[in-house]
Amino acid sequence: MEFHHVRALLHAAPLILLAIPGSAAMEEKDFAAIKAELDATKHELATTRTTLERVERRLDQLEASRAAPAQAPSGPRIAPVNADNPAISFVVDTTLQTDTHGSGWDFALRSGELFISAPIDPFLRGFATLNGSTEDGFDIEEAAVVTTALPWNLTVEGGRFFADVGRLPHWHDEALPFVDRPPSIDRLIGGESQSEGAQITWLAPTEHYIRVTGGLFNTIGAEYNEQLRDEGFDGYRDFSQLTFLVHPETYFDLTDTLNLELGTSFVTVPKHDQRYLYGIDATLRHQPGTSEFYQGLVIGSEWFWNEQKFDDVEVGTDPGTGDPIFADQHAHRNGGYAYLEAFLGRRYSVGIRGDYAEDAFGPANRQRTYSAFATWMPSEFQRLRFQFDQIDAAGEPDNQRFTLQWTAFLGSHSHGFANR
């Protein structure tokens, strides 16, 4: 744009005219004509300038818009066919463990877990977890269907799956924040809350988060399910032998970065075992969403109270005959854990955990476990974790256990809501 040259010429024009010999003697009318011509030229230049500025703006716009497609494509963007239908993932969870009891060294495949999930139709999705391990061999850990379109915020889940008990009992091993499931959960729930049955969940249609789950199962707990299968359980049992579950949970945003989750669990077998398990869980999270070294904190705890009738327990010896005396016995036991995990940087965390667990016959067989653990995630898809456990079990010498865990995730990998 050469406006400044033109403008300079215009400003210089009167001087040029004055410099012409004899110009002072020009007639008045000649001067008026020249002035009119000058005004016309100025006007023409102003018009040209406006036009050029408009063209310049348009050029800028065109340049700015060069990446925009001439015609927008229509329809939703669709992932390649079968990209996630079904979503398939495989988890490799291996450990190396030793202790000061002289047990030696143990390399173990803690879990090789194939997970498949997909929508079945507009109303249902299905999932299955097939698990193999050094200790337990191969098992179909879960195979279940879940409704996706029921009214009134209801969701029904049926099949074999981890019942919604407490917080950590329904987490898969590889998703736990520790290398092992807390001993109290192992003792009181029987490992994961694996169950065969059905549960219905209702999400309150409110601003405040309230979710209530009710369920009916053959039994709850991987260990108890295994026992049933080992005993040749044929699937039929009296209604009073079924296990009932109720699990309400709620959540509070205490501040923008601090929140609290609370839940209670109630599991019962009303008649046969006369089992009543009460649980309470609380999780406090600090999630500042910062890029600083300290990136957050989780404090979690669960406590369970269990009362259960055991049939034909040996309660003593007949003084006359010396024969053992058997009787039904009600046993009460407690257990729970609390842990703190701090997240440092984008890929590190460290934590401590304390666990107290009684077995079926109460405090006499209690176990206290104190643990410290550190986790490093080289990427989103693999994790290395070291854990030290100080185990204080009644009637046994103290034991120190060291575990190194290496976990990797193949294929589709997403974090489910339950494992948040």
Where on the chain is the footprint of another protein (CB under 8 A)? 57, 60-61, 63-65, 67-69, 72-73, 75-77, 79-80, 83, 122, 148-150, 153-155, 201-212, 214, 244, 246, 248, 251, 253, 259, 261, 266, 268, 270, 276, 285, 287, 289-293, 345-347, 378-381, 414-417, 420
Minimum separation from the CB atom of position 345 to another protein (A)? 7
- Residue with Cβ nearer another protein (121 or 135): 121
- Residue with Cβ nearer another protein (158 or 248): 248
Minimum separation from the CB atom of position 154 to another protein (A)? 7
Minimum separation from the CB atom of position 260 to another protein (A)? 10
Minimum separation from the CB atom of position 177 to another protein (A)? 15
Neighbours of 95 (CB within 10 A): 20
Helix (H, G, I), strand (E, B) or coil at 41: helix
- Residue with Cβ nearer another protein (251 or 361): 251
> CA-CA distances (angstroms) from residue 347 to 92, 93, 292?
19, 18, 12
- Residue with Cβ nearer another protein (148 or 317): 148
Q: Do the beta carbons of residue 408 and residue 91 sit within 8 Å?
A: yes
Minimum separation from the CB atom of position 377 to another protein (A)? 9
Peptide bond between residue 86 and the one before it cis (omega within 30 degrees of 0): yes
Neighbours of 4 (CB within 10 A): 8
- Residue with Cβ nearer another protein (155 or 390): 155
- Residue with Cβ nearer another protein (19 or 70): 70
DSSP 120-182: EETTEEEEEEEEEETTTEEEEEEEEEEES--STTEEEEEEEEE---SSGGGS-GGGSSSSS--
- Beta pairing, strands 348-359 & 324-344: antiparallel
- Residue with Cβ nearer another protein (95 or 199): 199
Distance, CA of 161 to CA of 159 (rounded, Å): 6
Minimum separation from the CB atom of position 415 to another protein (A)? 5
What is the chain's alpha carbon radius of gyration, rounded to the nearest angstrom? 37
Dihedral over Cα of 305, 311, 313, 316: its sign: positive
- Residue with Cβ nearer another protein (65 or 321): 65
> CA-CA distances (angstroms) from residue 161 to 126, 153, 222, 242?
11, 21, 10, 16
Q: State the DSSP H helix or E strand holding residue 29, giving kind and residue range, or none if neither.
A: helix 28-64
Minimum separation from the CB atom of position 402 to another protein (A)? 26
Distance, CA of 103 to CA of 116 (rounded, Å): 37
Minimum separation from the CB atom of position 100 to another protein (A)? 35
- Residue with Cβ nearer another protein (146 or 357): 146
Neighbours of 381 (CB within 10 A): 13
Q: Show the tokens assigned to 19.
A: 């410099």
Minimum separation from the CB atom of position 110 to another protein (A)? 22
